[in-house]
Amino acid sequence: MSLFTSLVALSMAGTTPAAAPAEDYRQRRPEDEIIYFLLPDRFENGDPSNDRGGLEGDRLMTGYDPSAKGFFHGGDLQGVIQRLDYIQSLGATAIWLSPVFKNKVVQGPKGRESAGYHGYWVTDFTRVDPHLGTNADFKALVDAAHARGMKVYMDILINHTADVIEMAECDGYDCPYRSRADYPYLRRAADGAPINSGFAGDAVPSVENFARLTDPNFAYTVKIDPREEDIKVPAWLNDPIYYHNRGNSTFTGESATMGDFVGLDDLMTEDPRVVQGFIDIYGDWIDTYKVDGFRIDTAKHVNPEFWRVFTPAMLDRAAENGIPHFHIFGEYATGDMDPTITAQGTRVAGLPASLDFPFFAAVRDVVGGDRAPDWLEKLFSADPLYGDEAVALQLPTFTGNHDFGRFAYYARKAFPAADDAQLLRRVELAHALLLGLRGVPVLYAGDEQGFTGDGGDQDAREDMFASKVAVYNDNDLIGTDATTAESNFDPDHPLYRALARLAKLRRDHVALRRGRQIIRSYAEKPGLFAVSRIDPASGQEILLAFNTANAPLSANVAVDPAKNSYAALYGDCPAAVAAPGQLSIQLPPLGYMICETR
């Protein structure tokens, strides 16, 4: 069945799914969600009056320059509210927002400054950034989403704050890491005795055992611009005693958790004051706004003992607010298909889930590259590293994001001679894997409109509303003649329709959300990958078969000998097995089928 001729998609993509009663959405488990991730600044401009965040002056004062990819463009929370129909019609059941907290407006080396439009340079953890709106706007968004039966996930930060602390011995941002071996902790109790600066097991050290400094002495001499001495909220964050102050991380060894993340002030998360401080901060966001989950930025760069205290506190706070399935997942970033990195989040730090970077890498390599499907088998065979099967089901999966770039970018790079039709099939196939396989699918805003980007970070953060950024507007979008110079909320885009159809199948079939996954067949060259998803309650089985080759495929798939007949949910499924335990299938180039056993 062609992407362009799916009558099912044509009939349903423009219809908003009925809102779920409040009690229903609260009872959905994390694996029941389809998440739509967006950066509010790049999504929709609902209130132009806040474009400059209430500030005056040039872009270095206001952070606003809609023609520059590294500055605020004007999108805001009111814009998200205005586009909830669009998001829900795509099939998303939850919205994940990049951080909404008040940021340092502009930072960076002279001549290379950029703005905190992305939300990761926080100065005030209690307030929405004025460029995005107000705390009342955030409440309005959460309430509007909940009224539709949709959840809202916050992107939160604990590893670092904005760059405010400077090191006197360093030249600007070039500040080499100073290790504990060369520069031991000089923090002392009032009587001069060394203090206990570590956790005992999972316990938070007491304030007495983690004594306050009367005369700070760090690896570097810290200094703070007088204009920024009180910029951080809550006020305790302004004291340099609560930071490591050891220079920039090399992302190896102890610097991975104690070094500054590209100059950002690295919090001393071993300190009980910091632990309790962030429990209070984020517990209040749950109490006040009744949000449904947290994605934890740079979780890998925080000592794991912190998470073993913080996570239970957040789950308890959510339960007290009538939120029984609060979803927490941490960022353990890797560009490789290496589950040993992401599994540290669940097995070492005790987080309920990790953002599934290995899934992203595997799909990029197999569908957006020339790896064979056995690479996917290796990915899923490593699921026991995370814990039991229930943990793997809660791992948010994705095909591209705002940091590593879009799937379409990698596919075009790997297949430069491919025409638009082939790239369209590859993007759809990648999302069929995303929405059909184990994990919680995350759709990145713009992918459903054929956005490609020019790489990662700022190059993958295009505006959904009409953009003024030249390096965005010259991109050749997939499946459309439109450009990012115009608004891109088209429910008739072929990818929007395909994703809406796949999302509906996932919502309608428990096996695709909660089902145990059994790998049925995988090729050692581009070609077949087949799995079954089995509903743990009813035993209902759904077979998914994917062709990662750009050529037709005919093959036999080994299936359950007790299952003899199949019905198509998508594609041309055989009605019956060729022989007990053998299903003969045919797939078009870069095609797939989804079959339900009868």
Element (H, E) at 435: helix 420-436
Cβ–Cβ < 8 Å for 122, 100: no
CB hemisphere CA count around 317 (13 angstroms): 25
Report how far residue 162's alpha carbon sits from residue 124's, in angstroms, rounded to the nearest whole number: 10
Please, what's the b/e burial string for 486-509 (b: 16 or more CB within 10 A of its CB; e: otherwise)? Answer: eebbbeebbbbbbbbbbbbbbbeb
- Location of structure tokens 């989403």: 145
Q: What is the pLDDT of residue 14?
A: 38
Q: How confident is the model at residue 20 (pLDDT cuts 50, 70, 90)?
A: low
Q: What is the pLDDT of residue 185?
A: 63
Catalytic residue of the set 297, 356, 365, 377: 297
Least confidently predicted of 178-192, 233-247, 379-393, 430-444: 178-192
Q: Is 228 a catalytic residue?
A: no
Domain ranges of the chain: 513-597
Q: Is 596 a catalytic residue?
A: no
SS3 of residue 497 by DSSP:
helix
Q: How confident is the model at residue 17 (pLDDT cuts 50, 70, 90)?
A: very low
Pairing of strands 516-522, 528-534: antiparallel
Pairing of strands 327-330, 353-354: parallel
Cβ–Cβ < 8 Å for 572, 586: yes
Share of the chain above pLDDT 90, in %: 88
Cβ–Cβ < 8 Å for 315, 282: no
pLDDT in tens, 97-121: 999 999 999 999 999 999 999 999 9
CB atoms within 10 A of CB 279: 18
Mean pLDDT of 298-324: 98
Report how far residue 313's alpha carbon sits from residue 219's, in angstroms, rounded to the nearest whole number: 32
Compute the mean pLDDT over every residue in the chain, rounded to the nearest whole number: 92
Q: How confident is the model at residue 174 (pLDDT cuts 50, 70, 90)?
A: confident
DSSP character at residue 465: S
CA–centroid distance for 532 within its chain: 26
Looking at mean pLDDT, say which of 10-19, 22-31, 574-583 comes out highest: 574-583
Catalytic residue of the set 33, 47, 129, 331: 331
Q: What is the pLDDT of residue 4?
A: 32
Mean pLDDT of 398-423: 98
Cβ–Cβ < 8 Å for 454, 427: no
Mean pLDDT of 561-573: 95
Q: How confident is the model at residue 22 (pLDDT cuts 50, 70, 90)?
A: low
**Type of residue at 238:** N
Q: Which among 111, 26, 38 has a CA at the least distance from the CA of 75? A: 38
Answer whether CATH 2.60.40.1180 is correct for domain 513-597: yes
Mean pLDDT of 299-309: 97
Length of the chain: 598
